[in-house]
Amino acid sequence: MGLGDHLRELRNRLIFALVGIGLGAIGGWFLYDPVVAFMSAPLKEITDTNAQMNFETISAALDLKLRVSISLGVLVSSPWWIYQVAAFIGPGLKRKEKLMAGAFGLAGFVLFAAGAVTGVWVAPRAVSILVSFVPSDAAALVSGVSYINFYTYLVIAFGLSFLVPELLVAASFMGVVKSRTLVRAWRVAVVVAFAFAAVINPIPNPLPMIIQALGMLGLYYLAVLIAFMHERNVARRTRETLAAAD
């Protein structure tokens, strides 16, 4: 296949992916109300403080709905556009590489989903604690755009934090880093995990921060174990190949 054919294939895949995202955004438009209701539920459940979402400008509500709809479109249509990416690069991969890419993709999806679920669990508690600092004789007029951005940022940040171990495993498989290097860097891993948890966790309570940091460290050492087992298997196959050659 020539360069022109590759470019046409890329163009077609991009068009298919964008059409899928567009259709997903249309669905996201209709999912907007229940999704925002779920996100704003922590504010409504607070009875001791007058907390409510507000919009500063006339078009702010429409702008928020468009942004949320597009975000939902990207999320809902993710299997479709991921397939388009895989269909474009797949023909250039060997069978083993395809299996490895599929395994990493599935593991990444599971890890990100686990982190996102953790973020969804933390978000209401964060909102409840943060709003509790509002004086009893005052009202918390929370910007709707800022609130949704805060909620989304928290969920995505937790999801991405759970992907770090997979990136370490990928780096090990590519020979960029060795398992013994990761073991020696355990002090750095502890400091980074707790620092990240402290920055990303909005709850002024050490328990959620400690739980998240320990979870990240657990995944880190799991990545070290997988990297070690991979290196041992590679060394064994190398020895067998050399022995067969002799």
Alpha helices in 143-205 (DSSP H): 144-161, 164-173, 179-184, 186-200
Give mean pLDDT in consecutive 10-residue pieces for the chain, a chain of 246 residues.
70 87 90 86 64 76 87 83 75 71 78 83 78 71 80 81 81 79 85 81 69 82 84 80 70
Q: What angle do CA 69, 73, 78 make, to 5 degrees?
A: 155
pLDDT score for 39: 84
Q: Quick check: 168 and 223 in contact, CB under 8 A?
A: yes
Rounded Cα–Cα distance for residues 136 and 143 (Å):
19
> Which residues lie closer than 8 Å to 156 by C-beta, 6 or more apart?
116, 119
pLDDT score for 163: 81
Rounded Cα–Cα distance for residues 18 and 80 (Å):
10
Ramachandran assignment for 175, one of left (phi > 0), alpha (psi -120 to 50 degrees), beta (any other): left
